[in-house]
Amino acid sequence: MLRDTLLYLSQHDGLRNFALSNRTARNFSHRFVAGEQLSDSIEVTRTLNQQGLSVALDHLGENVTDEHEARAATEDYIRALECIKESGLEANISIKLTALGLDIAQELCEENLRRLLSEAARLGIFVCIDMESSAYTERTIDLTLRLHREFAQVGTVIQAYLYRSKDDLERLLQEGVRVRLVKGAYKEPPDLAFPQKAEVDANYVRLMGMLLARGNFPAIATHDEAMITAACRFARDHGISRDAFEFQMLYGIRRDLQERLAREGYHVRVYVPYGSQWYPYLMRRLAERPANLMFVLSNLWR
Ligand code: FAD
């Protein structure tokens, strides 16, 4: 119930404007967001690399409705790619199709994405297309599959809460596309997604087995220790090397677990968001763990 309310509010313009101008909310966002500038995220990436952790940089922004903004977002992503290369960092990038203009026109989004992937190919950096709500699933899978035939270094995300995900994963596996497996962060109706956490977890384990057995350097993205233990056990029982996959976690969440897995010899990548458009991202993080909300509320009016 609270999760649904927070996810609903993540789309609320008035609350977004209030949060963006509120100092406490802004300070709280720093728990999950590297900062507003690319230079902030580069600094964080350098520190994480020194700790043996790789990074996926995410320039925050989504559901762009202005063509100029979509082109500007593309340029921002390209600057991030160049900066990664120049700084010699162990990092790739994560992008959202709605930041590149998918809500405006598929053609615009594809044009921006092609430009971005050409630069990424030139620089030899992997690009992951984040998965947004179910309104975009079909288009995201189709575009990834089509562009993967031209740009091998593009991959995408599968959400375990969707009923359709097993079929989508099968299509991606057949084409050798790199996949990140997550549980799913959006508000979805019960005719599209498993409503119970236990069902989502069971599907996550099922899809994880498919990915570890047949995937191209898959990413097991979760903070759930039961999922992580299941992945380690599956890999061990099936003779899958620790170099054949990676764990991924979000910046600011379970740092202890990130460091422990890296110490044990697993590849760990931290997803590091940065930028001024942190509001919907932050609300999704609150929805995942409403205990975080109490901290914000108790400090909001101080
Ligand atoms: P849960 O069962 O939700 O949580 C397990 C435990 O993790 C909790 O008990 C708690 O201890 C800890 N935890 C989880 N979330 C939080 C939090 N916010 N604050 C503090 N502790 C927390 N979703 C998408 O829909 N599309 C994407 O493209 C996408 N990309 C992602 C990339 C990465 C690298 C990661 C890690 C997640 C991504 N997600 C994405 C989010 C994902 O779908 C889940 O919403 C999120 O990871 C929480 O689920 P969980 O697997 O950690 O398990």
pLDDT tens digit sequence for 170-193? 999 999 999 999 999 999 999 999
269 is catalytic: no
Statement to judge: residues 271 and 296 lie in one domain: no
Q: What is the pLDDT of residue 137?
A: 98
Q: Are 111 and 149 in contact (CB under 8 A)?
A: no
Angle at 273 between CA 183 and CA 5, to 5 degrees: 50
- Min mean pLDDT across 252-256, 268-272, 276-280, 293-297 is at 293-297
| Pocket around ligand 1 at a 6 A CB cut-off | 130-131, 157, 159, 182-186, 221-224, 248-250, 253-254, 271, 285, 288-289, 292
Separation between Cα atoms, residue 215 and residue 19, nearest integer Å: 40
Q: How far, in Å, from the CA of 201 to the mean position of ligand 1? A: 12
Statement to judge: residues 11 and 43 lie in one domain: no
Which CATH number goes with the domain that contains 95?
Answer: 3.20.20.220
* In the predicted structure, residue 23 carries a pLDDT above the cut 80: no
Annotated ligand binding at 277? The verdict is: no
Q: What is the pLDDT of residue 13?
A: 81
Statement to judge: residues 177 and 83 lie in one domain: yes
Statement to judge: residues 8 and 108 lie in one domain: no
Q: Read off the pLDDT of each residue in 233-257 and give the average, rounded to a whole number.
A: 97
Confidence of residue 253 (pLDDT cuts 50, 70, 90): very high
For the chain, strand residue ranges (E) read 54-59, 91-95, 127-129, 154-159, 179-182, 219-221, 246-250, 267-274
Q: What is the pLDDT of residue 297?
A: 65
Statement to judge: residues 6 and 38 lie in one domain: no
Statement to judge: residues 261 and 291 lie in one domain: no
Q: Which residues of 101-127 are buried (b: 16+ CB within 10 A; e: fewer)?
A: bbbbeeebbbbbbebbbebbeeeebbb
- Min mean pLDDT across 64-68, 262-266, 290-294 is at 290-294
Confidence of residue 265 (pLDDT cuts 50, 70, 90): very high
Nearest CA to ligand 1 atom 8: 224
Catalytic choice (178, 180, 201, 269):
180
Statement to judge: residues 71 and 27 lie in one domain: no
Statement to judge: residues 108 and 217 lie in one domain: yes
- Min mean pLDDT across 51-60, 203-212, 237-246, 281-290 is at 281-290
Annotated ligand binding at 265? The verdict is: no
244 DSSP 8-state letter:
G
Nearest CA to ligand 1 atom 7: 223
* In the predicted structure, residue 294 carries a pLDDT above the cut 80: no
66 is catalytic: no
Counting the structural domains of the chain, the total is 2
Q: Read off the pLDDT of each residue in 11-38 and give the average, rounded to a whole number.
A: 82
* In the predicted structure, residue 228 carries a pLDDT above the cut 60: yes
Annotated ligand binding at 46? The verdict is: no
Statement to judge: residues 124 and 85 lie in one domain: yes
Statement to judge: residues 114 and 15 lie in one domain: no
Q: What is the overall mean pLDDT for the chain? A: 93
Statement to judge: residues 194 and 300 lie in one domain: no
Q: What is the pLDDT of residue 298?
A: 62
Nearest ligand 1 atom to alpha carbon 201: 2
Q: What is the pLDDT of residue 278?
A: 79
- Which residues constitute the domain of residue 23? 1-32+286-302
Per the model's pLDDT, the better-predicted residue between 201 and 23 turns out to be: 201
The per-residue pLDDT for range 80-135, each reduced to its tens digit, is 999 999 999 999 999 999 999 999 999 999 999 999 999 999 999 999 999 999 99
Q: What is the pLDDT of residue 14?
A: 80
Q: Read off the pLDDT of each residue in 225-238 and give the average, rounded to a whole number.
A: 98
Annotated ligand binding at 85? The verdict is: no
Statement to judge: residues 68 and 115 lie in one domain: yes
Nearest ligand 1 atom to alpha carbon 133: 25
Angle at 246 between CA 200 and CA 94, to 5 degrees: 80
